Amino acid sequence: MKMNLKTRLKAALKSFKNPVTTPKPVTPKPAPEPSVVLDGTLANGRIFYDMNVKKTGLPDGMKVDLQGHIYCTGAGGVWVFDREGNHLGTIVTPEQPANCAWGDEDWQSLYITAQTSVYKIKVNIPGISLA
């Protein structure tokens, strides 16, 4: 039986019993988080967060909400950080995500592209609009 995209999304979202997990502590490794200088160059690199864990998946797509929270695809789902680099939790996805984007009129839907599917989850804080 072939399911359309809407049916697949509903089925996938039902599998999210508690999509936010408690972060596990890791030992940070250097990964620069630069400052932008007035002339457009970067300076003052520092460690933001090390997403190197024993699960499959690498950091890739990244988005920011209106309060400065950073959503970054990585091992096991979309990792959520505050602006200081503290891991607030992970939106667990059924398959490895690749990228994410804000959508819908209120910008409170996070669309997550993965290996074979696109997922959508509503968030409380709107994303930053590119328009």
By percentage, how much of the chain surpasses pLDDT 90?
48
Q: What is the pLDDT of residue 11?
A: 59
SS3 (DSSP) at 73: strand
The set of long-range contacts for 50-56, using a CB threshold of 8 Å and a minimum separation of 24, is 50/26, 51/75, 51/79, 52/26, 53/24, 53/26, 56/96
The pLDDT assigned to 10 comes to 60
Say what the pTM is: 0.67
pLDDT digit string (tens) for 12-59? 555 544 444 444 554 544 445 567 788 878 777 777 788 888 888 888
CA distance readout (Å), 103 to 36, 83, 115, 119, 127: 27, 22, 20, 12, 8
